[in-house]
Amino acid sequence: MPANGKKILVNVYHLAAREAPYLQRLRDAGFLLEFNRLGRQQTAAELIAALPGAFGTIAGGEPYTEAVLAAPEARDLRVIARFGVGYDRVDVPAATRHGVAVAMAFGTNHEAVADGAFTLMAAAAGRVVARDRQVRSGGWGDAFHQGLWRATVGVVGIGRIGRAFIRRCVGFDMRVLAHDPAGDADWARANGVTLLALDDMLAAADFVSLHAPWTAETENLIDANRLARMKPTAYLINTARGQLVDEAALADALASRRIAGAAIDCFRVEPPAGSRLLDLDNVILTPHATGMDVTAEHAMANRCIDSILACWRGEDPGQPYLLNPDALLRDRA
């Protein structure tokens, strides 16, 4: 059944800069495409204004709240296909009540995020950014730096991304500690990973890498008390969600050299205008982009498109991609 001009919002603003060939699949099905060309995530008001006539969205980090989903402008919306694996910006129960399917791209970008996290860890340890600036300003020579080989790494969260990151650490003969209340103890044991209480792990690690979701339980998981437990020579890497870290406490710890450094890819407010982290020389900052290599881009986009086309046909995109299969059984409220 052709879509006959129904609209798909491509809200991942990175995709507006070029005509990606995989999007032709949606056009071939009869959909019109409308892009977010703001160069940033949409606000709730901007999303509502773009929704009239939209059957689905390829969703970035814009907010799908009760107010957005209940807006008259959203009456044609039937599927939110998330370009990624986090859904903290989607009110899933509200989407279900309103008959909007929420489809995820699980299993498509975990290797890219793990690559990015490992890259940031290596760059922080080797003081790559600081040394680049040193040479550009005419300087030369430096002190010794922390190495990766046989160092101890602490991993918070051993889901897909955490496990992929651990595989990279094992290749450097690192001692791997982990904290995950729901972690698979059998997997950990089989892969040489020691599961510990969070405070014990923080005290022992040379590097701490965060790979947990943002939930009520993980909000400010790394606060001033937890940072105080880390070694003064240790580094914190966050490629998960900014809300896992008390950003003010981290800035204090970095400014006082309570910890050696950090590498941060995600922030409470994005972009982090006005953040004290911007003024510190012992932190590497990147724009929430560690999962954005081209292999992951194609895999995430095609997974989103598969889900949209399945929902258009009235079919379940399949497990584990659809968070709320009951939404397919409901009329749009």
Provide the pLDDT for residue 5: 77
Q: What residues form DSSP beta bridges with 208?
A: 154, 236
Q: Is the predicted pLDDT of residue 245 greater than 90, yes or no?
A: yes
Instruction: Note the CATH architecture for domain 7-108+293-329.
Output: 3-Layer(aba) Sandwich (3.40)
- How is the chain split into domains, by residue range? 7-108+293-329, 110-285
Which CATH number, 3.40.50.720, 1.10.1060.10, 3.40.190.10, 3.40.630.30, labels domain 110-285? 3.40.50.720
Mean of pLDDT over the chain: 94
- Return the H-helix or E-strand segment holding 302: helix 294-312
- The span from the CA of 57 to the CA of 136, in Å, is 44
The stretch 174-192 carries a mean pLDDT of 95
**CA–CA separation, 155 and 32 (whole Å):** 43
**Which is catalytic among the residues 160, 211, 288, 303?**
288
Catalytic residue list contains 66: no
Residue % of the chain over a pLDDT of 70: 98
Which residue out of 66, 219, 270, 315 is catalytically annotated? 270
How many angstroms separate the Cα of 306 from the Cα of each of 58, 100, 271, 274, 309?
A: 11, 16, 31, 40, 5
pLDDT value at 1 more than 90: no
Determine which one of 82, 127, 241, 303 is catalytic.
Answer: 241
Tell me, yes or no, if 270 is annotated catalytic: yes
Cα–Cα distance between 230 and 228 in angstroms, integer? 5
Same fold? 7-108+293-329, 110-285: yes
pLDDT band at 2 (very low <50, low <70, confident <90, very high): low
Q: How confident is the model at residue 318 (pLDDT cuts 50, 70, 90)?
A: confident
Question: What is the predicted pLDDT for the residue at 3?
Answer: 66
Query: Is 19 one of the annotated active-site residues of the chain?
Result: no
Q: How confident is residue 16, by pLDDT bands cut at 50, 70 and 90?
A: confident
Select the highest-mean-pLDDT range: 105-109, 130-134, 153-157: 153-157
Least confident of 3-17, 40-54, 160-174, 290-304: 3-17
Confidence of residue 333 (pLDDT cuts 50, 70, 90): low
**120 Cβ contact list (under 8 Å, min separation 6):** 237, 239, 263, 265, 284, 286, 290
Is the model more confident about 17 or about 277? 277
User: DSSP readout, 1-48?
Assistant: ---TT-EEEE--GGGGGS--GGGHHHHHTT-EEEE--SSSPPPHHHHH
